[in-house]
Amino acid sequence: MTRSPARTPWTAVSLGVIGAAHLALTVHKYRDQVHEIVREGVLDRVERTSDGTTVGARPEAFWFATCGIATLALAGLTGAAERSPAGPPRALAPMLAGLATWGVALMPRSGFWSFYGAAALAHRARR
């Protein structure tokens, strides 16, 4: 099926919002850990401190930010696919639903629920 290049890439927009929110929440939720990592010079400071003390929630902050960055990258790729004449790949909607299911099963009180919305938009974009 051929797609109009002028269509708004709503799946990409939703993923961009999720990724941006993740990065914003990283700065808010892990403010102290982010400041510590930056203050100590960034390089090799997630699992080690400059003085050898415990790293606390630094790995959690790192992975939270990394997931935001990865979701923004996925948003960019998805947007390009949605704007292409072929539209997004068929596997996108089930992949996003699978990610949501995995996350919700392990962390029901989390933002993983938002990936169901992105999956629904991806499914709709294929129609």
Which of 67, 47, 44 has its CA nearest to residue 58? 47
Instruction: List the chain pLDDT tens, one digit each, 127 residues.
Output: 555 555 899 999 999 999 999 999 999 999 999 999 999 899 988 988 888 887 889 999 999 999 999 999 999 999 999 999 999 999 999 999 999 999 999 999 999 999 999 999 999 998 7
Q: Among positive and negative, which fits the CA dihedral 10, 88, 77, 82?
A: negative
Q: What is the pTM of this model?
A: 0.88
